[in-house]
Structure 1
């Protein structure tokens, strides 16, 4: 999930590198990454692909340490768990660090590339974002590309003989605890966003004594059944957009349904990333994808009413496809799709038949059908029944949810908070920011709230936190295109 902005780093960071984590001096080496000008510390740990076969294939799990600025630092480092599934935590570091700058004064911040992403036995598929739109949209061609990627990945040393099944969340969390031991960190402070919240919950289940504090932002619990919930939650966010703009755009919902009813149709747009003009047949599923992406960020969603109206009334789809390209276009947000399918095919798709979430009226079941098709041939890892059960919180947990989130809205956070607090409600707080999208951390004062939670000296003073500074933030007003006055005469023209 996105964490925009940067900050300048001080000379103190470079000086702090002279005092690396006590037990990891031999495993850490100076390194640099894009977006952070300072020299940092990088390391790796060799792990068995299959823990049941310690003498079998091995993979190297890579990680980055951003050392604390102060010499008298705290021993409990912060571990950042990336989203997706399929994001590289290391590639996200330059986006996340501005939000964790206060914590970094006295705590190391650690980014581990989960097995299957970045340099940790990557399961990357070719990037098709610059292909002609018509080729991206063709289902037959899309599934052929995914099948070809799977075949290529199965030829890798760690992909042979069902190796793609050993990239589950459970095995990844075992890797991360092994790195904790290598670094000599007595306890992590966990920060997980989106899929990273599922990873954090699994780490708490497996290693309850090794987490001091946990922040989970945009809660995606293990029992969520992602392909089914995508439809339900995307529909709820879209309906909320219609409701929020009912006064300023009273025909927006009708325009939307008129647009859906007009499909399929031939449209002309510029390819969002290349700018090359294209003409192609617009199907329902693509239109829904074009709308769903901007809903993740209220600042982008504020432009959807005007874009939908332009498409419905004038056949102008430039706005919709422009918003789609604006969302998630950063290389740091790109997913390792092989790892993504390895996780979802093992942990979610087998439970689709049990899913109780009703499909969205507009989004229907297209997402579930796509994953079902891909997972028919994708190697599937073993998942323990205990994975889907959330145990009582062993230490303080702060849950964050955005009320306008189309992927992980508050209903999931509420369920998890109830399970975590079943024996001690004082250990759990669920904060809902009503008009936030997917990811609450970037909103207003949330970075300071998270700092206070983790920095609190005792568990008793860590919670509750006052979030009024964020919960009162309104939804961004709908974007209104500037219209030239009707009487305006272009320069050089005559009346």
Structure 2
């Protein structure tokens, strides 16, 4: 799920377009991926950039197959749908595979780089993580970088003449089904996290008979207006943090408000990746952008009380910006920002004016305004009206939410579970892990719970699953900085 200006995302373009043509079976080649010791299979499939023009420009959709360990494998493979929007599924395969290891015994695990990500016609912007903090956080400079990125992407073979309009979720899910057909997989077991949950829901809507089971973790529904929900859900997570640590840090909320009131101010902070000290003007918006990312992971959020207090009392902000940098996750977690905006600008930005989300008292409308500015000039794909609707689930769906998630909290999972279970409530279960952040797949026993759900022989046996082993996990206690013992003076040696 990623900096505040990134985040999760949405779905999109054309149920009205012609159905995809049958694809030839792609050859699979032996390959290796960093972080996975055994040999894997890699392949690619050509797909039309514009589904309405099957003989027009083509893009290569790359995918990775982790072959089942057992010889008598099950035919229904597991498809992992990555987050973002903009995350490469293949790049995060080594991180995700341990959570699916039991399933990998008798089922192939498939990772497809969604169009616009990884090796599939990537829409990447230059990495700005090593730029001086002043450049990273300067709003005008950020807009200029995004404008330059868009202009560069529009010169690519698949970006020319409005090509960026065809990187929406609806079109991308047609690619996913073409890969399924080419691999000879009768049905997918879908596993989606963050934006991948929206992708899964859109695939389920377009191809209901091609899905056996679905797991969606950290749900971003199609009716969720991403930039507007940023403020609402981020504020709720921050307020929850203050309440959770009220006993150990009773003055934390007041110190936070005093810190906000002291802005703008000049601060000196070491650039988290280079260590070079930099002096810049810290504004309210920049502080909120620094605080939000650690909220995604309770282990990082546990250090926020100390970092906020040190900033408020001593004027030192290295801790806050260090936590923000720690959330980044490395090169393999980077988003293809061109794909990110192609999705969000098509599927969310047009709905901003009608969004019902109430802005957070602290976070306000900064995220909305940033996306609105970018999307004014970003090529915008068409989104079918049906995209925003959730038909009743045709097969079992396990919905999972973290109660402390600042991006896709419980309220979104509840709404999706209710809609999916409207006709057959027994087909849907919503598992809430109260003290988990963005994504619960890695929490406690959830890996085994996911295995039992997908491996169950019948739909009746798949649900409900007992998640008590995860729901009882407490929130991490607040981090307490180690205080150096005072030095003693004297003649004794």
Q: TM-score, normalised by structure 2?
A: 0.94
The aligned counterpart of 1:121 is 121
- Higher relative contact order by CA 8 Å / sep ≥ 6: 1 or 2? 2
Give SS of 2:268's match.
Answer: strand
Q: How does 1:399-478 map to 2 (within 5 A)?
A: 399-478=399-478
The aligned counterpart of 1:16 is none
1:489 equivalenced with 2:474 (yes/no): no
Q: TM-score, normalised by structure 1?
A: 0.94
CA–CA separation in structure 2 for the residues paired with 1:37 and 1:208: 35
The aligned counterpart of 1:15 is none
The aligned counterpart of 1:336 is 336
The aligned counterpart of 2:216 is 216
Deviation at 1:315, TM superposition (A): 0.3
CA–CA separation in structure 2 for the residues paired with 1:111 and 1:27: 16
Cα distance change on mapping 1:103 and 1:160 into 2, 3 Å: same
Is 2:26–2:183's contact at 8 Å kept on the other side of the alignment?
Answer: no
Please, what is the CA RMSD of the aligned residues? Answer: 1.5
Is 1:24–1:183's contact at 8 Å kept on the other side of the alignment?
Answer: no
Deviation at 1:37, TM superposition (A): 2.2
Cα deviations by residue, 1:324-354 (Å, 9 ceiling, x for unpaired): 1100231111000000000000000000011
Is 1:24–1:184's contact at 8 Å kept on the other side of the alignment?
Answer: no
Give SS of 1:123's match.
Answer: coil
The aligned counterpart of 2:134 is 134
CA–CA separation in structure 1 for the residues paired with 2:139 and 2:452: 48
1:28 equivalenced with 2:28 (yes/no): yes
The aligned counterpart of 2:393 is 393
Give SS of 2:242's match.
Answer: helix
The aligned counterpart of 1:358 is 358
Deviation at 1:269, TM superposition (A): 0.9
Cα distance change on mapping 1:439 and 1:494 into 2, 3 Å: farther
Cα deviations by residue, 1:331-390 (Å, 9 ceiling, x for unpaired): 111000000000000000000011001000000000000000000000000000000000
The aligned counterpart of 1:295 is 295
Once the two structures are overlaid, the 10-residue window that deviates more, 327-336 or 395-404, is 327-336
The aligned counterpart of 1:312 is 312
Aligned residues: 473
Uncovered stretches (5+) of structure 1, i.e. residues with no partner: 3-22
CA–CA separation in structure 2 for the residues paired with 1:96 and 1:494: 57
Is 1:136–1:142's contact at 8 Å kept on the other side of the alignment?
Answer: yes
CA–CA separation in structure 1 for the residues paired with 2:237 and 2:173: 31
CA–CA separation in structure 2 for the residues paired with 1:206 and 1:346: 18
Is 2:25–2:182's contact at 8 Å kept on the other side of the alignment?
Answer: no
Task: Extract structure 1 runs of 4+ deviating beyond 6 A.
Answer: 492-495
Is 1:88–1:113's contact at 8 Å kept on the other side of the alignment?
Answer: yes
